[in-house]
Structure 1
Amino acid sequence: MGRGKVELKRIENKINRQVTFAKRRNGLLKKAYELSVLCDAEIALLIFSNRGKLYEFCSSPSGMAKTVDKYRKYSYATMDPNQSAKDLQDKYQDYLKLKSRVEILQHSQRHLLGEELAEMDVNELEQLERQVDASLRQIRSTKARTMLDQLSDLKTKEEMLLETNRDLRRKLDESDAALTQSFWGGSAAEHSQQQHQQQQQQHQQQQGMSSYQSNPPIQEAGFFKPLQGNVALQISHYNHSPAAVTNASNSATTSQNVNGFFPGWMV
């Protein structure tokens, strides 16, 4: 059963329209290729989708540009000679206008650069001076605005850097304070411990001195011994001569000085 005849009108469904466009585009490109091969014809085919996408086919090995130029030459050759001459004249007039405009701009540029000023009169020179002054004011204004913008940016960056510097300095001070506190806390503990040890040593020394004063040491062995018995009896053992009495008193004094005490009978 053959396919029915398709009504030629715009397909309303967007998806169906895209599918139909793709199928028929491929078929058209295939037919153009077959026609160029079978009939040795020069074919240039241009297709634009509704979104503006380009699809092209050209059978010429030189490309699409040469075929289009060939088409333009053929179109201009088939035009009316009077219309062609009029178009050429209009184009020549446009060319002259553009040429004169370019020359004026070149002269103005040379004048602004300070060249070819001898041919200008006073009025033209004053006009050129006003133009240059206006240009300079505009340039200076733009320069000042640009410098102010840069200065504002630099001030903003400076404030940010100062704030960062303050934060870092505050953190450094806090760290130094913590280290100092920990150091002095340990030093104070060691100092107090040393003072306590010194106090204990002084207390022990004082106790030793008090015990030494209350109970002085006695030298039992050695060359000196404490006096025993009554000193008067020892003195009576010697002769009653003055020399004997003197010797006895000297020996008693020496022994008393060594033992660290003075008897009550010595006056």
Structure 2
Amino acid sequence: MVRGKTEMKRIENAASRQVTFSKRRNGLLKKAFELSVLCDVEIGLIVFSPRGKLYEFSSSSLQSTIERYRERTKEDTSSTTREQDAKRKYEAESLSKKLEDLEASKQKFLGEKLDSCLSDELYEIERKIEKSLRSIRARKYHLIEEQIAEQKEKVSSLEKGNELLHEKVNQLRRLPSTVAEEVPSPGTHGQQTEADTQLRIGRPGMETHDMWKGY
């Protein structure tokens, strides 16, 4: 009968878990003993049961094995610390050297401390400066073109505004002549209106002096 593969998870049943622990513990101790004998190695094994009971195995002395382990881990820790310190020191020195080189390059670009430079180095500095100047000029021209385009847009907007103002002024100038044509002349309707509003006494059609003759 083929034995199934055991799933690696905690056994929920307490009795089954205790039986499995006993079997596997004995097998583990046996394997540790066999390995120490067959391969002549120092082995220290410590196991605590779920209830806190101690099970141990050592090929020599468990205490000496533990002390050996502590010394070795201390050495490894010290070695790791020394390596990290050396690495940080190297990085710090490298950064310091880069800063010194950058400072020296900056002074040379500013025209300072050029006495120690050879002709090739001076030529390289000159080439880099010319390249930087070309980049600066290109950026400057680009900004100027943007400003010119912006000013042209403003001028165009102002011209459109002026055209609208001129059009409104022309409309206002044409407005009085139109009003004069619509208003009647004083010699026609105005006189008739004034005559009609005079006060008269007597029958219609009689002149004023005829009315006074009757008195």
TM-score normalised according to structure 1 size:
0.40
* Rg larger for: 1
Higher relative contact order (CA 8 A, sep 6+): 2
